[in-house]
Amino acid sequence: MINYEHDFYGWTQEQAALLRSGRLTELDTIHLLEEVEDMSGSKRRELKNRLAVLIAHLLKWLYQPGRRGHSWSLTIDEQRQEIADVIQENPGLKPEIAEQLRKAYRIAILQAAKETGFAKKVFPETCPWEFEMIIDDEFFPD
């Protein structure tokens, strides 16, 4: 049996082979369960991080109208598409959206403050937009 801590790649290949061959009693179930749980966490983190980038750009769009440009609108469009793809590929994340939006907004304020030079307190304490607005291709705050 390949050691999980010393050869992760080899371990994953071995676990896949055991699953394919139906040799379930030989699986490293403890580490396998940890990895499956971690995979779900990575999708949750991806949703939160993409929401943070999107919201930060929407905040910059709102608070710095003179700096609006093609690059910002393309980043907004890209993040919207990526968020839609993540949710479409992982519909089990739908109940997590409100919580991830709340967490993403805290990060977005930091990003927007850093990139605009504005103090964090300039931005609202809670996200001023609903999720449906944020992912709407037509929505750009004015």
Largest CA distance in the chain: 63
Determine the pLDDT at residue 40.
84
Give Cα 114 distance to the centre of its chain. Answer: 20
CA–CA separation, 62 and 47 (whole Å): 22
Q: Which two tokens stand for residue 139?
A: 């929505």
DSSP 27: S
Determine the pLDDT at residue 24.
96
Determine the pLDDT at residue 39.
86
C-beta atoms surrounding 8 within 10 Å: 13
Residue 119 exposure: Cα atoms within 13 Å on the Cβ side: 2
Determine the pLDDT at residue 70.
96
Determine the pLDDT at residue 22.
97
Mean pLDDT across 99-111: 98
Instruction: Give the pLDDT band of residue 108 (cuts 50, 70, 90).
Output: very high
Instruction: Give the pLDDT band of residue 16 (cuts 50, 70, 90).
Output: very high
What would the pLDDT profile of 23-76 be if each residue is shown by its tens digit? 999 999 999 999 998 888 999 999 999 999 999 999 999 999 999 999 999 999
